[in-house]
Amino acid sequence: MLGLLGVKTLILTNAAGGINLSFKPGTLMVIDDHINLMGTNPLVGANDERFGPRFPDMTEAYSRRLREVADAAATATGVAVAHGVYAALHGPSYETPAEIRYLRTIGADAVGMSTAPETIVARHMSMEVLGISCITNPAAGVLPTPLVHDEVMEVAGRVRAEFSALLEAIIARL
């Protein structure tokens, strides 16, 4: 729908679990790439050429230009950002410690239940995409304690102002 309305640039945000051991709750991670482990692709089925090619290139799923804009906005606002690879899994359950070890082994820095399908569809329609994850918790097995959804929500609330300032600075630069 956004593509049909003429949107050319899309900023996607999400809450994610931190796989990278240097990411603490509240880290904002600019997504450099993703690993789609959702078990499907939103482009499966008949292709309508009006929306894009049958096999869209995903070499730069997350625009290098927009990632540079995000870095400049972060510097200007004093908001620290990290960069990393986002792994998308189907959910709705959190991942197991074994799955997190697997994801770390294949190069994922963060994990969540969204963003990859939206990015794939946006790129299919030639939109430029920027993705930013708020690392709301260490992923399962990183700490010896279970994941609690209320703690995820608390961290998201705690960094809301910082995240908003970053997004406003990015949008101002576009």
Q: Which residue of the set 49, 60, 68, 95 is catalytic?
A: 95
Q: In 3D, which of 157, 146, 141 has the Cα closest to residue 25? A: 157
Q: Is the separation of the CB atoms in 101 and 51 below 8 Å?
A: no
Token pair belonging to 65: 């230009």
DSSP calls for 85-149: EEEEE--SSPPPHHHHHHHHHTT-SEEESSSHHHHHHHHHTT-EEEEEEEEEEEPTTTSSS---H
Nearest to 159 by CA among 127, 133, 125: 133
Beta carbons of 34 and 88 less than 8 angstroms apart: yes
118 is catalytic: no
Q: What amino acid positions are annotated as catalytic residues?
A: 95
